Amino acid sequence: MIQLTDLPPVRGTVTANRDLSSLTWMRVGGPADVLFQPADIDDLSTFLAALPKDIPVFPMGVGSNLIVRDGGVRGVVIRLGRGFNGIAFDGDLVRAGAAALDAHVARKAAAEGLNLTFLRTIPGSIGGAVRMNAGCYGDYMADVLQEVRVVLRDGTVQTLAAAELNLAYRSSDLPEGAVLVEATLRAPREDAQVLEDRMAAQLAKRDETQPTKDRTAGSTFRNPSGFSSTGRADDTMDLKAWKVIDDAGMRGAVRGGAVMNTMHSNFLTNAGGATAADLEGLGEEVRKKVYDTSGITLHWEIMRVGEPAPKD
């Protein structure tokens, strides 16, 4: 167990044994040994440089694509807050802190006549959006990302070009333990009112087709034929995860408090009182059923972190 007194001094906040369930959309999971909320980039960089190398580090965003397991996360979980949520404009470039919410960036960009509307309905932060190459309605982070600033595990601050991250369908290559702190996006110009109307239409479409008010982490599994991240015509993802889940008879399947949502069967949901083990167990059951019935292996899109609950 890490002792707070062993950790480097910080200007931000360090909390021992911090419950993570309240910081995730699924509302499940055990504690982090330590939760660090740095004051700014310097604070983060100084902390990581001095943190003993054998202590693992896990950066989280706002937990909209995460299942934290019931035993919690060993090491230091880093969650960026106020010092990292600035949004600035320079021509068609948008510089956003990693803690800025996607929706907020989309709205501010639209007011400037810049089209980042695809971010409006994604509930995460910019750090999570880069890491996951988030996207919807044909547009993805990969289409607009120019460069990122990261703080590496040894505390070095670096700028990486978008190409170095190898953004692909819901994935990226980030060095282990690296924390994204800022992203620069290039957004196409469009009339502000047109952008407002598009965002309103996309929000309405979401509410019609997805359980946006439930405790989920969005799509549970990647679409089996999804490979592209560009929004181009080859990015069809014809074979949808929800369809193969339906075909395997798993829509509405239940395990403890976990359910495969009846509105959208690729949305694993905490219907009340679920543990992380219920959710992950049900997900694994779905993967097995789909494989047994169709020979298709579903891959998790939701990131699962931490350890299972200790056995009594």
Ligand X SMILES: Cc1cc2nc3c(=O)[nH]c(=O)nc-3n(C[C@H](O)[C@H](O)[C@H](O)COP(=O)(O)OP(=O)(O)OC[C@H]3O[C@@H](n4cnc5c(N)ncnc54)[C@H](O)[C@@H]3O)c2cc1C
Name the pairing type of β-strands 57-60 and 73-79. parallel
Q: Minimum distance between the CB of residue 125 and ligand X, rounded to whole angstroms?
A: 4
Residues 11-30 that bind ligand X (CB under 6 A): 25
Shortest approach of ligand X to residue 288 CB, angstroms?
24
Is 176 marked active-site?
no
Q: Give residues 171-190 in contact with ligand X (rule: CB under 6 A).
A: 179-180
111: amino acid identity, one letter: A
How many Å apart are CA 26 and CA 64, to the nearest integer? Answer: 8
Q: Judged by CB under 6 A, how many residues of this single chain contact ligand X?
A: 30
Closer to ligand X by Cβ: residue 7 or 101: 101
Our finding on whether 303 is near ligand X (CB under 6 A) is: yes
Site for ligand X in 253-292 (CB under 6 A): none
Angle at CA 72, nearest 5°, toward 52 and 178?
Answer: 45
- Output the CA–CA distances (angstroms, integers) from residue 286 to 53, 66, 264, 279, in the order listed: 38, 18, 14, 11
| Whole-number Å distance between alpha carbons of 164 and 183 | 13
Q: Is 182 a catalytic residue?
A: no
Considering the complex, what minimum distance in angstroms separates the CB of residue 180 from ligand X? Answer: 4
Query: b or e along 171-202 (b: 16 or more beta carbons within 10 Å of the residue's beta carbon)?
Result: bbebeebbbbbbbbbbbeeeeeeebeebbeeb
Asked if 216 is part of the footprint of ligand X (rule: CB under 6 A), the reply reads yes
Residue 238: HSE in the Cβ half-sphere, 13 Å Cα cutoff: 2
Region binding ligand X by CB under 6 A among candidate stretches 9-17, 195-203, 216-224, 244-252: 216-224
41 vs 244, beta carbon nearer ligand X: 41
Residue ranges of alpha helices (H) inside 173-267 are 192-209, 241-247
Scanning residues 36 to 95, which ones bind ligand X (CB under 6 A)?
A: 59-66, 80
- The structure tokens listed for 139 are 């547009």
Q: Which of residues 136-175 bind ligand X (CB under 6 A)?
A: 136
170 is a catalytic site residue: yes
* Residues involved in catalysis: 170, 219, 301
Q: Which residues bind ligand X (CB under 6 A)?
A: 25, 59-66, 80, 98, 122-125, 127-129, 131-132, 134-136, 179-180, 212, 216-218, 303
